[in-house]
Structure 1
Amino acid sequence: MKQKKPLFLFLTTLVICLNLHAKNYRIESPDGRISLEVNIDQRVSWSVKMDGKQILNSSPIALYLENETLGDNPRLLKSAVKEVNETTQAVVPYKFKNVVDHCNELLLKFKGDYGIRFRAYNNGAAYRIEVGKKDEIIVNDEVCEFNFTNGCSVLFPEEKSFFSGYERLYTDTLLAAIGEKQFCSLPALVSSADGVKIGITETGQSDYPGMFLKGTGKDALKSIFPPVPLKIENLTYKSERVVESAPYIAKTHGTKVLPWRCLMFAREDKQLIENNLPYILTEKNVLEDTSWIKPGKVAWEWWSASNVFGVDFKSGINTETYKYYIDFASEYGLEYIIMDGGWSDRVQLDIPVEGVDIKEIIRYGKEKGVGVIVWMTGMSLDNDMERFLDVYAEWGVAGLKVDFLNRADQLMVRYYEEIAAAAAKRKMLVDFHGAFKPNGLQRKYPNMVNFEGVYGSEMNKVSNKVTPVHNVTIPFTRMLAGPMDYTPGAMRNETTKGFCINWDIPMSQGTRCHQAAMFVVYESPLQMLCDNASLYRQEPEYTHFIAQIPVTWDETVALAGKAKECIAVARKNGDSWYIGGMTNWTAREIEVDLSFIGEGNWEIESVTDRVNADRYPSDHVLKTEKLKNKRLKISMAPGGGYAAILRKLD
């Protein structure tokens, strides 16, 4: 034992010396309730507390380049702390018109031409790695870990492959039950044992792969990234296969800011609905002229298989049917129609199929004040994008629906931005389908008005899993990242027992008012009316009601909500307020305080579940009356909903 004592003393002295070189840096949110601490020792790690309680345990940060690792044995050169407090206006305000960026920021710069920027907000925390190399860099991997406290649960959108349409259901499970071979796309929602909700996403992504998170068998998640494809085999016009991949995840400019790794905190579920961090953190608009960008509602023929009725022409993919949809859109004040899959050759995108006179359809749309958006696959567009878009511009196409993108590697992320820039050059909107979640590019290129990346209404054509439970889960999960093209508005509404899968005549689960509420609850600057124009015309009062709900919002106020159970939200556009409420299969009554609308006399126009909506879900009541007081009771049937418009009378 006497011989081992000098070695023990030496190791003890070494640990003490190493600890003397370790440094801790701490910033707080402006309200002081969230504290972010960075530890610099043999590696860089960060942790977060809320109200003095640990939320995120020490979690490492590193970037593995081809010839060095940024973050291992770091040598700090400089640290700087500052308060950020600025307000700008959103070009396309899908949550708030005024974008308030108020936080405290810590910037750490290290030897080796890199830094890490941390931010503490009142409702979240984030960091990003910033590289300042002169030459091109190859990124082999990035270490982003989230080590949470014990006993967490998670809503986990599990993926089976990096090749995905990102239309996932959310599995509710203990975080420690997620094994190392399981991984998910983003956003994910973690709940601590204390009930704090932690939304995880990324934003400010450009020329860099999307991040996925894998389990660890513990209360932790670790990042994984798709590698750069070296060889891709095209299988059909809409499917492909990566047959060779590089041993790295990105090859990019040496001067590079990586995406923000973003945590969104809420003490109550409903607070997540007002959290705007992914939009706040990302790069601001780069387009000089945005006056032509026009969000709006869309009449959509695909969901009902172009199956209009009560007409004297053969319905289908033809000029007459598209004109019918234009007439419908014009009658109800909808800004656009979409010509979805089938209008053109699947590969030669400038060749319409027989029976479709695209120039006449667009001319007729302009005459009626209705823009035309055209569908294509990303693979076919990539064959000759500049030429196709020039032809579309000459025709007068208003926007693109680009589908079956199905990857999130660096090349695909770059392609999104190329499409957005090329479309903006020709003053066209873009709606991405078969696509990953919003990644911040919707602020940089505000013509990028929508993303799918959600298990939405189109799945009713093939699945019975688009339930009211799912519908009141996604506002607290998928919608954290930004707008989602769920495509609401089903007119055939059913109970679980009555629902059946029908490709040509689809239906939804839950009540009609459940669908109506989605037009307020779901953020979507390009919002579909998904169902058959003939069905909408049969119920003009209801259709006028949903058609007048805006798609952009000056303010958002979360009234009530809990993931998987219910939601109630109020949104303001101009001088009017709009309210949407949705419940799962449990009937419920929610009383909300409307004092935020201000003084004066108000009129309320509402659509509510009728008394028998639990048995006949399409049953509803439309009424207009004077608002009696600022305590509003929202009653909803099982699978039900509520929608209302409040207009000031004086």
Structure 2
Amino acid sequence: MRAFPANGIRCFVLYILSTWLTVGNVEAKITIHSLFSPNKKLELQVVTDTQISFCLLHKENVLLSSLPLGLQLEGGTVLGPEARLLSVERTEQQETIPSPLYRKDTIHTRYNQLDFLFDNGFGITFRMYDGGAAYRFYTQWADSLYITQEHTGFLFTEDYTCYIPYSRGEPNPFQSSFENTYAVTPLSGFEKDKLAFLPLLVCLENNVKVVLTESDLESYPGMYLKGEKVPKGYVFQGVFAPIPSETNVHPFRGQVVPVAYSEVLAATSGTRTFPWRIMAISEKDTELPVNDLVYCLGAPNKTGPTDWIKPGKVAWEWWNNWGITGVDFQAGINTETYKYYIDFAAENGIEYVVLDEGWSPPSGHDIMKTIPEIDLEELVDYAGQKNVDLILWCVGYVLDNKLEEACRVYSEMGFKGFKVDFMDRDDQPVVDMLYRIAETAARYRITVNFHGMYKPTGFNRTFPNVLNFEGVFGMEQSKWSREDLVTYDVTFPYIRMLAGPVDYTQGGMRNVTREDFHPVYNHPMAAGTRARQVATYIVFDNPLVMLCDNPVAYRKEQETTDFITKIPVVWDQTCILKGELGKYIVSARRKDSRWFVGGLTDWNERTLTIDLSFLEPGRTYNAHIFRDGVNAHRHATDYKTETKTVTTEQVLTVLLRPGGGFAIMFEVADNPPCDTL
């Protein structure tokens, strides 16, 4: 704790900026509580004298400061301004966090913490990690709380470039699928009357970047940001969806849509912790995709042992519109078609087949009903004989209506998972519903894939049976949109993927150049090269990942299929070898003794040199390479495979065509082939 005079120093200026005061409003001295990251590169300076606020510094350079922090309660009480500080507790902590279904099997982390307890039964905890800062409120009230506003915001003094994912919900921005590309704009360009969902990235000076997001979002609405110019800079103000006061049920799918809102954000227990507000910091872009703050700040595992949870790949029929040919039955949502998908999965060691929308009558809003063309018990028996597990798609609200019954009946029948879709909200009632679904499913040993979902917020640490999340502008968009997925693919790993895994649904075999791409709903294309599609299985975090094209296409392209199915979906170790936000990325991942390296580029051709020093010293490896063909810039399906013998002292050079990629599998060599570098 330090006391500074109220004139002429940097921290005091920041205090004025963050509290929106003038010099005349401040006492002669203010008290600054300083908290450093373990590596001393980051510093958080917290002021509690008049308003509670902070500034965040990197190597003594100011990154951002906060608006005055507070929780506003029904009736007008605000926990924050003029609060009397009762105690300050400073701690240092090291943690080893098991993460068996994540981008690494164990997380070793350390942090420094300041805990402030104030009168009126509330406190704020600040943490500093080497990868960023976080804070959250907690309350110690005996009675329930009705929160009408959380005062939070981030102030930047310069007009920095930022990557903004705007909500596409119109006219209601709180009703959104949380899918959009990034608007790359100065802070001053934030569009009026729009909201951005998280995560959001700001590019600061000296290549430093900050990603704003949140974790441990339980029984509380998710945060949006609204940008505006203010006299002292540019601010992102926190905005939250209130509890709906009136809803309508969509007649087709049973989706629950708000039509009016109350004035309350959260009705909650008086004794609790609130979500973490996260500022993830990077000095290099390659640090962002492997920043673990969101996972580390999620609540610990609530489900117990995880050995029953099976990650894997999924043969998926919806993207390809059940588009199989050359069979003697009518393809569609029927038992024979799903047997065909099961056969394909079994042939290729694919763990799951999903029954997507249509197996249950959508207009009936009853998950216990099945259309006449589908025999669920027959399919479960057939899949069991083939060692393939089945997942059922459903609308979240429809599942919740009969949650206990559905989990009990379908788990007893033999189904292993639910793909839960069309929540499209993150207000408190929906967040509560998703926790309820995850907990109930875990009791019946059912895995969950949350589609139509907001970004991960540590949920997969709390409920490891929740294997994947959408909240990403994925391959389904290519069925109806001309948006640039190729550029997005080398952007979101640095922003959205920081928060957790992505249900991107890749694997398209109809690969086309930028000039040839156009959306086709029934026979969709994949922009970029074939090798790019293969590489996404390495670059993207996805412990439950789709093969989005149809079995006929994959059987015709068996070499591609074989390479994809050899790629693991969970990892012991992950690192980013090189990359630049919005341009390219090269990821390296290890499972047991095998390493996999995947690379993606934007629409610019790029030659990349891969340093192999990440491999185990003294070992020789067979490098199985799947890369763009010499004509992939004209015919995006063109690719080449080759195997080379390499060691850790060598480098590999790979040419990526526009919209291209590459994938390499490194196996310890027993009998090296003759083709040696």
Name the TM tier (shorter chain).
Answer: over 0.9
| Greater mean alpha carbon deviation, residues 192-201 or residues 335-344 | 192-201
Equivalent residue number for residue 344 of structure 1? 360
Distance 1:277 1:289 in 2: 23
| CA pair 219-631 structure 1, distance change in 2 beyond 3 A | farther
Partner of 1:211: 223
State the Cα deviation string for residues 279-320 of structure 1 (Å, max 9, x = none): 011111011232211111100011111111122222111111
- The aligned residue for residue 220 of structure 1 is 235
Query: Is contact 2:255-2:398 (8 Å) kept?
Result: no
Distance of 2:432 and 2:154 partners within structure 1: 27
Large movers: runs of 4+ above 4 Å: 14-18
Contact persistence 1:54–1:149 (CA under 8 A): no
Quote the residue 1:314 is aligned against.
330
Do structure 1's residue 627 and structure 2's residue 646 form an aligned pair? yes
Q: Show CA shifts across 1:224-249 (max 9, x none).
A: 00001122111222444313321110
- Out of 80, 83, 87, the position equivalent to 2:92 is 83
The structure-2 alpha-carbon separation of the partners of 1:17 and 1:495, relative to structure 1 and needing over 3 Å to count, comes to: closer
Secondary structure of the 1:449 match is strand
- Return the offset for 1:368: 1.0
Mean Cα displacement is larger for which, 157-166 or 380-389? 380-389
SS in 2 for 1:596: coil
Secondary structure at the aligned position of 2:152 is classed as strand
Question: Which residue in the other structure is 1:11 paired with?
Answer: none
Measured against aligned partners, the alpha-carbon deviations of 1:96-143 in whole angstroms (never above 9, x if no partner) come to: 211123111111111111111111111111111111111100111001
Contact 1:92 1:446 in 2 (8 A): yes
Contact 2:97/2:296 (8 A) holds in 1: no
Aligned equivalents of 1:459 and 1:17: distance in 2?
A: 53
Where do residues 5-154 of structure 1 align in structure 2 (5 Å cutoff)? 19=27, 22-67=30-75, 68-93=77-102, 95-154=103-162
Cα distance in structure 1, aligned partners of 2:422 and 2:345: 27
Shift of 1:183: 1.4
1:197 aligns with 2:206: no
Name the aligned partner's letter for residue 239 of structure 2: I
CA spacing shift, 1:497–1:16, aligned 2, 3 Å? closer
Asked if the contact 1:176–1:220 (Cα under 8 Å) also holds between the matched residues in 2, the reply is: no
- Aligned-residue offset at 1:17: 10
Q: Map of 1:599-618 to 2, 5 A cutoff?
A: 599=617, 600-618=619-637
Task: Give, in angstroms, the shift of residue 500 of structure 1.
Answer: 2.1
Per-residue deviation at 1:331? 1.2
RMSD of equivalent CA atoms:
1.6
Distance 1:111 1:322, change over 3 A: same
d(CA) in 2 for partners of 1:172, 1:607: 32
Give the alignment partner of residue 533 of structure 2, picking from 512, 515, 522. Answer: 515
Name stretches of at least 5 consecutive residues in structure 2 with no aligned partner. Answer: 1-21, 671-677
The answer to whether the Cα contact below 8 Å between 2:100 and 2:106 also exists between their aligned partners in 1 is no
Contact persistence 1:154–1:190 (CA under 8 A): yes
Match of 2:188 in 1: 176
User: Which residue of structure 1 aligns with residue 425 of structure 2?
Assistant: 407
Per-residue deviation, residues 603-625 of structure 1 (Å, max 9, x unmatched): 11110000000000011012222
* 1:79-478 → structure 2 map (5 Å cutoff): 79-93=88-102, 95-159=103-167, 160=169, 161-217=173-229, 218-236=233-251, 237-346=253-362, 347-478=365-496
Amino acid at match of 1:365: A
Deviation at 1:442, TM superposition (A): 1.2
CA-CA distance at 1:61 after TM superposition: 1.4
With over 3 angstroms needed to count, the CA separation of the structure-2 counterparts of 1:240 and 1:89, relative to structure 1, is closer
The CA distance in 1 between the partners of 2:569 and 2:504, in whole Å, is: 13
Q: Could you tell me how far 1:16 is from its partner in structure 2?
A: 8.8
SS in 2 for 1:219: strand
**Where does residue 657 of structure 2 map in the other structure?**
637
The answer to whether the Cα contact below 8 Å between 1:542 and 1:622 also exists between their aligned partners in 2 is no
* In 1, Cα distance between equivalents of 2:53 and 2:424: 33
* Aligned 8 A contact 1:457 1:466 in 2: no
Q: In the alignment, which residue of structure 1 is the partner of 2:509?
A: 491
- Deviation per CA, 1:530-565: give whole Å up to 9, x if none: 111111011212101011101111111111111211
Q: In 2, Cα distance between the equivalents of 1:423 and 1:197?
A: 38
Residue of structure 2 aligned with 1:583, choices 581, 601, 604: 601
Q: Structure 2 CA distance, aligned partners of 1:272 and 1:331?
A: 37
Task: Report the secondary structure of 2:423's partner residue.
Answer: coil
Aligned equivalents of 1:271, 1:351: Cα separation in 2: 47
- What secondary structure sits across from 1:535 in the alignment? helix
Amino acid in structure 2 at the alignment position of 1:613: A
CA–CA separation in structure 2 for the residues paired with 1:623 and 1:355: 45
1:424-474 per-residue CA deviation (whole Å, 9 max, x = no partner) reads 111101111111111211110100111111110011111111431111111
Letter in 1 for 2:571: W
SS where residue 158 of structure 1 aligns?
coil
Partner of 2:18: none
Aligned partners of 1:63 and 1:69 also within 8 Å:
yes
Report the residue type matching 1:517 in the other structure. A
1:611-641 per-position Cα deviation (integer Å, ceiling 9, x unaligned): 0000000110122221254322232000000
What is the rounded CA distance, in whole Å, between the counterparts of 2:465 and 2:119 in structure 1?
39
AA partner of residue 101 (structure 1): T
Matched with 2:9 is none
Contact 1:459–1:466 (8 Å) recurs in 2? no
Number of aligned residue pairs? 636
Deviations 1:484-519 (A, max 9, x none): 100110000001221122111111110011111100
8 Å contact kept, 1:210–1:408:
yes
